[in-house]
Amino acid sequence: MTQAVDNTPDSETRWLDPAEREMWMRLVGLTILLPGAVEAQLKRDAGISFFEYHVLAMLSEAENRTRLMSDLAHWANSSLSRLSHVVTRLEKQGWVRREACPTDGRATNAVLTDEGLAHLALHAPAHVNEVRRLVFDQLAEGDVASLSAGLGRILEGIDPDRRRAES
């Protein structure tokens, strides 16, 4: 990502300066290492993947613990195909069920069952403690707001429609 990679002069390339490169390398490290660390805790304590936990959490936050599958895919940052496979696994555990959407006969809802909510509630404290240990305990006062704002702008650049959907 620096000009040292390619010694050919290129006036159109905006090479990363040292501070940008350092931040980029830290962001890459974070995106590679953090999911694995969180996943290890969830697999050990709850027997589920980070993605499965996230799907359950997104359902728990929805009105009536129900989301359209397409909406849930959006909130879970997933393709509908990947989500469908995960929901099938969660259905086999009795934690999620699918049902026809009452307002759109072509759509399907995913619903967090009482058993799924109980599983989530049982394991959420350990998960939150791990997230706090890995992320928030490492930040100084004011870092959360500035980091959140910066990440929000990056996400807006990657997925401009996301912000409108979250509002």
| CATH code where residue 72 lies | 1.10.10.10
Q: Is residue 128 part of a domain?
A: yes
Rounded to whole angstroms, how far apart are CA atoms 110 and 97?
6
pTM over 0.75: yes
> 92 in a domain, yes or no?
yes
67, 59 in Cβ contact below 8 A? yes
Whether residue 41 is contained in a domain is answered as yes
At residue 5, the pLDDT reads 56
Which residues does 2 contact at the CB level (< 8 Å), separation at least 6? 15, 16, 21
- Number of domains the chain is built from: 1
Q: How far apart are the first and last CA of the chain?
A: 35
6 falls within a domain = no
Residue 164 predicted with pLDDT over 60: no
Q: Quote the domain boundaries for residue 71.
A: 34-134
Q: What is the mean predicted confidence (pLDDT) over 45-51?
A: 96
The answer, yes or no, to whether residue 166 has pLDDT greater than 60, is no
| Beta bridge pairs of residue 101 | 104
Name the token pair of 164. Answer: 């409108």
For residue 74, being part of any structural domain is answered with: yes
- Whether 82 maps to a domain, the answer reads yes
Q: Is residue 102 part of a domain?
A: yes
- What is the pLDDT at residue 159? 82
pLDDT in tens, 49-79: 999 999 999 999 999 999 999 999 989 988 9
67 part of a folded domain: yes
